[in-house]
Amino acid sequence: MAPRILHFCKDQIASECREFDAAETRPRGISNFQLHFDNIVSENRLKGLDPEVDGKRLRLQRLQAAKEPDKHLVPGIYTFELWARIVEVYSNTAIINSNDKLIALAGVAKWMSGFMKSDYVAGLWREHLASQLLWRVVSVFQSHNRSFSNPSQRPSLYRAPTFSWASVDADNGSGIIYGEVTDQDLFIEIAGVHVTTTNPENPFGLIKDAHLKIWGKLRKIDLFEKINEKGELNGRYGWRLHGMGEDVDKEEHTNVYLDCPEQDGGLAVEGHDRDDRSRRGGIFDSNDIWCIPAAEGERAATRESRYLICLLLQEVKGRRLGPGTFRRIGLSKLSPWGE
């Protein structure tokens, strides 16, 4: 994540920096446009790190002409828009050594901390942390059989806590979408933050241990894999409430984004393929899956059309932290109109 990059192309050299992109044939800058919904707009540059310019443009693109729902957070929210953009691009980028995921981002994080005025928390920021927990991994749609693949993986060695996007490698899929930053319409509260880095003097370095203390309403659920009309797994997932009454427990919720379903679901075991129903020990066979309503969103939507966003958790037993310890396994969105 260097502030300046040289690209040695076939017939010329191109460059990127915080000011503009250029090439030998376009020394004064390269025009860069993208199709955003129905409009052609100037694309935001990854190296553009000016909150009042680049961050504000990102915010306007997110709102799509809707009224600003968080006026009290302006202009500070522009900096969070910049960070969200960095994470989303970075999470879709391959790294030779996945253990360097946070190290490679450390320089940019340190730079951004000057604008944030907030503590760094394993790829997130302490201010408005609750809303930043609502990131999600994007599945890959396969048009040939109208199914989804979920190739995201967790690293073999500990790198980050599961509440952070940095705990997932999604560069072989569609990347990660950062949580919308807000302090409104939240149903969880961060009561404590603990992060220990290998170098106590460097909060942007390697992480030794981290956890959060969260207040919210837990509900036990049954998580399951969806199948198509042929009886085959199609990369979609759902859940039902558990123990809330027969009528309530029958309702399925299928707008689900799991962080690493093929790994957490038991597919990482040698000899198991995607359609093998005999695997055991994963999240789909667990009696310890919970959801916690976390927020309403998206922020630009009218109140009556906002989703209820829930974190999906798995209880971790036998840990030194004692009972009530959970790891994140995904996120779900419940439509106000039912599913």
3-state secondary structure 304-330: HHCEEEEEEEEECCCCCCCCCCEEEEE
Cβ proximity of 123 and 165 under 8 Å? yes
Nearest Cα to Cα of residue 266 among 312, 222, 220, 225:
225
Residue 33 lies in a domain: no
Q: Burial level of 33, CB count in 10 A (0-12/13-18/19+)?
A: exposed
Residue 286 banded pLDDT, cuts 50, 70, 90: confident
What pTM does this model have?
0.85
Domain count, the chain: 1
Name the average pLDDT for the chain. Answer: 86
Residue 270 banded pLDDT, cuts 50, 70, 90: very low
Residue 326 lies in a domain: yes
* CA gap 99, 97 in Å, rounded: 5
* Tokens 């009454």, residue located: 245
Residue 109 lies in a domain: yes
Nearest Cα to Cα of residue 166 among 206, 111, 115, 214:
206
Whether residue 275 has pLDDT greater than 90: no
What are the DSSP calls for 132-186, one per residue?
Answer: HTT-EEPPEEETTTTEEE---B--SS--S-TTSGGG-B-TTTT-EEPPPP-SSSB
Residue 318 lies in a domain: yes
**Tokens encoding 118:** 């907030």
Give the tens place of pLDDT for each residue, 89-107.
Answer: 999 888 888 888 999 999 9
Residue 6 lies in a domain: no
**Tokens encoding 177:** 């979408």
| Highest mean pLDDT out of 117-121, 224-228, 333-337 | 117-121
Residue 278 lies in a domain: yes
Buried b (16+ CB within 10 A) or exposed e, 104-125: ebbebbeebbebbebebbbbbb
* CA gap 137, 175 in Å, rounded: 6
- Report the pLDDT averaged over residues 247-266: 88
Residue 207 lies in a domain: yes
pLDDT given at position 1: 55
* CA gap 135, 83 in Å, rounded: 13
Whether residue 307 has pLDDT greater than 70: yes
Domain limits at 71? 53-339
